[in-house]
Amino acid sequence: MTVSILRHYSTITAQKTTQLRTTQLTLALLKPDICADKSLIPKIQHTMAEHQLDIVQSRDVLWTEQEAGRFYAEHEGKFFYHRLCGYMTSGPFQAYILSSSDAIKKWRSLIGPTHPVRARIHQPDTLRALYGLTDTRNSFHGSGKSFISNWGVFF
């Protein structure tokens, strides 16, 4: 009996260890235009769950210009930088840590192309195709790489 329990425990431990190794975290933002319509948030959360993206943590955020500027510093000097920072400070938004195997790819695939018009043509079932307004007001952010260095901005 003891040996059987130990084998079972060992198998469960090995499965959990493997699961932890294959889990990836990503940052997802629901931008101000989405959060302005509170009825959309549960729909989007449901869509996340349908695509095996688990919400590890979430938080409401309201940025100052300086905070937006720090987050989007890589775009400073580009023509859209000030417009993007203005958009992200126009109202509250939500930040999520999502977890899944291949979370970055899954979330970015779910939100679709940056430009909602292109998304509507080429990937009409993506979130940006359904909810995005313009190339700047595209409703969602999906990190293209690990965002661990940016956690302090949100959590």
Contact partners, residue 78, CB within 8 Å, separation at least 6: none
Q: Is 71 annotated as a binding residue?
A: no
Terminal CA-CA length for the chain: 46
Question: Residue 136's CB: how many other CB atoms inside 10 A?
Answer: 15
51 among known catalytic residues: no
Q: Is 80 annotated as a binding residue?
A: yes
C-beta of residue 80 within 8 angstroms of C-beta of residue 55 = no
Q: Is 59 annotated as a binding residue?
A: no
Q: Is 128 annotated as a binding residue?
A: yes
Q: Is 150 annotated as a binding residue?
A: no
Q: Is 17 annotated as a binding residue?
A: no
Give the chain's radius of gyration (CA, Å): 18
Catalytically annotated residue among 51, 82, 115, 141: 141
Which residues define the annotated binding site? 31, 80, 108, 114, 128, 138
Which residues define the annotated binding site for ATP? 31, 80, 108, 114, 128, 138
Query: So which residues are the catalytic ones?
Result: 141
